[in-house]
Chains A and B, each alone.
Chain A
Amino acid sequence: GAGVSQSPSNKVTEKGKDVELRCDPISGHTALYWYRQSLGQGLEFLIYFQGNSAPDKSGLPSDRFSAERTGGSVSTLTIQRTQQEDSAVYLCASSFGFAGELFFGEGSRLTVL
Chain B
Amino acid sequence: GNSVTQMEGPVTLSEEAFLTINCTYTATGYPSLFWYVQYPGEGLQLLLKATKADDKGSNKGFEATYRKETTSFHLEKGSVQVSDSAVYFCALESNRDDKIIFGKGTRLHILP
Is A23 located at the chain interface by the 8 A CB criterion? no
List chain B residues, Cβ under 8 A from A95.
100
List chain A residues, Cβ under 8 A from B104.
40-42
C-alpha spacing A44/B104, complex, angstroms: 8
- CB <8 Å contact, B36 and A99: no
C-alpha spacing A31/B99, complex, angstroms: 9
- CB <8 Å contact, B89 and A98: no
C-alpha spacing A58/B97, complex, angstroms: 12
Is A35 located at the chain interface by the 8 A CB criterion? yes
Provide the A94-113 mask, 1 if CB < 8 A to any CB of B, else 0: 01001101101111000000
C-alpha spacing A95/B97, complex, angstroms: 15
Query: A99-B49, A106-B43 are contacts. A42–B102 as well, Cβ < 8 Å?
Result: yes
How many residues on the A side are at the interface (Cβ–Cβ under 8 A)? 23
Provide the A33-60 mask, 1 if CB < 8 A to any CB of B, else 0: 1010000111101001010000010100
| Residues on B facing A (Cβ under 8 Å) | 32, 34, 36, 43-46, 49, 51, 89, 93, 95, 97-105
- 17 A/B residue pairs, CB under 8 Å, sorted by A: A33-B100, A41-B104, A42-B89, A43-B44, A43-B105, A45-B99, A45-B100, A48-B99, A58-B99, A95-B100, A99-B93, A102-B34, A102-B36, A102-B44, A102-B46, A102-B100, A105-B43
